Amino acid sequence: MKLSAKLPPDDANATLTHFDETRGERYAEIFLIGGHAITGHLVAGIYNTVGLNSPTGTGDSCPQALLDRVDVAALKEQYELISAFKNGPRLWCLDWVEVLAGAERDFNGLKARWVMWLDVPKEMRKHQDVAYKQISGKRDTQLGIRKGSPAFILDDPQGDSWVMKSAGLIVDPHQTYGSLKDLGSRLQPPSGWAFRTVALEEDLVLTSDDGAVKITQDELGNTYDRVGGPYSNYTP
């Protein structure tokens, strides 16, 4: 096992990029993981396919045939990494995405842009469940859900709320965007957690705290961002 690895500085010269009408569209992320295995401080450079790989305008930025060609073992060797990970396919639960997008890379035919750094939790390193655990990341983004659109929300025992930004198709490949309205009947969160769906009465903008974001997942791999305080314009 490689004990240390330096990631490509693909955040250099990142430019503000806006993607509209993303709700329900498919995407995927490629994680290139570096850092120091001995100290346990691992960081992932995350590359997102949004806005790419769809020349016919289907909205699917990670066609399954291209995603299947991504060999994470080969990526690990090519980039001299500690590890690599394929996160997807996923479905956006946001109406728009604005991100500082960095270098674009071609992963055996699947194109993706650098969008953030992620502190890799120990559970993820050991392939353990990260459901309902807090994950820290660094990105410069604004993510939006428009007034009248549904927001899928987890409330935690500390009184904080988390809004779903994407539905995962890894644990349950048959999950659809339309099925999310009934997600509460499928989840079995720990004591003190609760799921709800609301139609927003005003636009919701998810932000970062000077570049820092907090993320969690449910047991189906759906991903949520912390809201409230510096993380959004209000708490729904």
State how far the Cα of 74 lies from the Cα of 107, in Å rounded to an integer. 10
State how far the Cα of 197 lies from the Cα of 45, in Å rounded to an integer. 31
The reported pLDDT for the residue numbered 72 is: 96
State how far the Cα of 132 lies from the Cα of 96, in Å rounded to an integer. 25
| Among 165, 163, 147, CA closest to 203 | 147
pLDDT-based confidence at residue 127 (cuts at 50, 70, 90): very low
User: Taking CA 41 as the corner, what is the angle to CA 36 and CA 47, rounded to the nearest 5 degrees?
Assistant: 90
Block residue for tokens 């609301």: 198
Q: Is the peptide bond before 157 cis (omega within 30 degrees of 0)?
A: no
Q: Is the pLDDT of residue 167 over 60?
A: yes
The reported pLDDT for the residue numbered 199 is: 97
In sequence order, the 6+-apart residues with CB closer than 8 A to the CB of 12 are 102, 103
Average pLDDT in the 84-96 region? 96
The reported pLDDT for the residue numbered 126 is: 45
Block residue for tokens 């929300």: 153
pLDDT-based confidence at residue 121 (cuts at 50, 70, 90): confident
Average pLDDT in the 170-192 region? 95
Judge contact between 228 and 161, C-beta under 8 A.
yes
pLDDT-based confidence at residue 120 (cuts at 50, 70, 90): confident
Q: State which amino acid sits at residue 125.
A: R
Q: Is the pLDDT of residue 222 over 60?
A: yes
Average pLDDT in the 91-114 region? 97
19 torsion bin: left (phi>0), alpha (psi -120 to 50), beta (else): beta
Average pLDDT in the 142-162 region? 97
pLDDT-based confidence at residue 55 (cuts at 50, 70, 90): confident
Tens digit of each residue's pLDDT (9 = 90 or more) over 14-52: 999 999 999 999 999 999 999 886 667 889 999 999 999
Burial class from Cβ neighbours inside 10 Å (0-12, 13-18, 19+) for residue 226 reads: buried
What residues does each domain of the chain span? 11-231
The reported pLDDT for the residue numbered 41 is: 83
Judge contact between 84 and 106, C-beta under 8 A.
no
